Amino acid sequence: MFKKILIGTHGYFGEELLKSAEMIIGKIENVSVFSLAPTMSFEEYKKSVEDNLIQTNKYLCLVDLFGGTPCSTFLSLSRDYDLCVLTGLNLPLVIEAISMLENLNSEDLVDHLLEVYKESGKNATKILSEGR
């Protein structure tokens, strides 16, 4: 099971996203957010994350952009820590990850979240017009 969720984003997207999630599911625990400021180097950002990691814990890392600095940073830390990195962070994903964190083992949670991704992008206008 994942012990904690780590969110990493360009700028303060992650912090605001967490506030948005709290509007929907209430007070959130077990989540840490790491915002990459424009002048922050890869090394500085990495240190800000690593200072909060414990080797015996397993972490679920949700980042915004595949190939971006938050993504590369978490991947680089997976050399020394038990991390699983998922990209394409969005609100449905955060809500689901937090809600199911203590209910599913890590492998099942990741599979479940990948399904949530697919389900979160819909043409709502088309669905409405088709009368569903």
Q: Which residues bind other proteins (CB under 8 A)?
A: 10, 38-42, 44, 65-69, 71-72, 75-76, 79
Q: Residue 91: is it exposed, middle or buried by C-beta count within 10 angstroms (0-12/13-18/19+)?
A: middle
Quick one: 73 or 98, whose CB is closer to other proteins?
Answer: 73
Residue closer to other proteins by CB (options 76, 120) is: 76
> From the CB of 16, what's the least distance to other proteins, in Å?
18
Q: State in angstroms the smallest separation of the CB of 86 from other proteins.
A: 14
User: What does the angle CA 76 – CA 20 – CA 124 come to, to the nearest 5 degrees?
Assistant: 100
Beta bridge partners of 4: 59
Q: How far is CA 26 from CA 5, 21, 29, 110, in A?
A: 16, 7, 10, 23
Nearer to other proteins, 72 or 90 (CB): 72
Q: How far is the CB of 110 from other proteins (least distance, A)?
A: 18
